[in-house]
Chains A and B, each alone.
Chain A
């Protein structure tokens, strides 16, 4: 910096140094965690998809029953 103003550089503490040395271990843990989360997410998506497909038939039936044609003919006497 100008005006003889300097910032004393930080020294790496021994605890940080140890953590940095363990980076490969942390990287492996992160990889395992990411893989686990991906597998669980995929499984959840598959379960939802199977549930959705199996309910398609019921859904279609319910849609007809809820439409304006559901009670067609019931009020012809009027």
Chain B
């Protein structure tokens, strides 16, 4: 059974006078362990899709089964529990709590999971070490670089061992060198068995994924394996920069 199973999803926003159809019958399945980039220009519905997948929102119609649970039937508290257990969010703007050190930021999901203080500490520490910030645990966000902040956010997303790592333009606020570092971290996490779903409009970023889903006007117009996935399945490793010339990345532009 697929980890994420979206069937005929519609999302309509009622803006008073007119109705905005953000999603028009989206079907999407994501298996456990996949590395998916959702692409599309602004207004294509990719943010709406991400919010739905992340259980921050519910569809107007259609069915969404996440890890065997029919999400569209859940109430607010149950959705919060799903977000806590199943989803790890990484945002473009990091969204760390100010004046709160890295360790406490990473602990946050575990507080709502109801873990004891000692266990929270331990798991947060391990998550930070995993993203290479073992020596920055007691730094506050304003004492960290952009890349480090995003690493803290990724540690926070990972700490409760979610089914999906959901990243919305994770490199949008970072320079290209740092972006590359962050993407390598995602690659590594994927290799470690995590399911990663990226939302991006940058082809450079999307090429890290093994599968690209392209949205336009609230519909999936393309859903293909990337060069990288092909390369991974063949014994020879992917040469650097090859993904840039793929036909899919030009489509998204």
Query: Are A and B co-members of a single complex?
Result: no
Footprint of A on B, CB under 8 Å?
none
